[in-house]
């Protein structure tokens, strides 16, 4: 799979919004995915939760590209910057 479809992105983001994380939110989308893409998308959801800390409609395409191309330093650096931004937002939220 090259790109995430708009439908898949919407399902993943909605599921994560409802459950609080992408791994659990995957369950919301699972039945609507093609069988041949489901496992890879589940691995992507686990990767977002473990390595990034979350995603939004503004960065999910960048994160998908980084996930699919872990050897690409530029994409990996973008994903790391997103992870740092998310962590700083979470710290501010905890303090508030």
What does pLDDT average to in each consecutive run of 10 residues of the chain (96 residues)? 91 96 95 93 98 96 97 97 89 61
Q: What is the 3-state secondary structure (H, E, C) of the chain?
A: CCCCCHHHHHHHHHHHHHHCCHHHHHHHHHCCCCHHHHHHHHHHHHHHHHHHCCCCCCCHHHHHHHHHCCCCHHHHHHHHHHHHHHHHHHHHHHHC
The pLDDT of residue 38: 95
Query: In the prediction, which pLDDT does 88 show?
Result: 87
Report the pLDDT value the prediction gives residue 89, as an integer from 0 to 100.
Answer: 81
pLDDT at 92: 60
The pLDDT value given to residue 96? 59
pLDDT given for residue 2 in this prediction: 85
């Amino acid at each position: 799979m090259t790109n995430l479809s708009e439908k898949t992105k919407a399902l993943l983001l909605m599921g994560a919004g409802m459950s609080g994380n992408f791994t659990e939110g995957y369950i919301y989308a699972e039945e609507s995915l093609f069988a041949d893409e489901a496992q890879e998308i589940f691995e992507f959801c686990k990767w977002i939760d473990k390595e990034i800390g979350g995603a939004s409609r503004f960065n999910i395409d960048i994160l998908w590209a980084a996930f699919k191309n872990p050897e690409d330093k530029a994409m990996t650096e973008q994903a790391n910057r997103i992870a740092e931004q998310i962590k700083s937002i979470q710290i501010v939220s905890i303090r508030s």
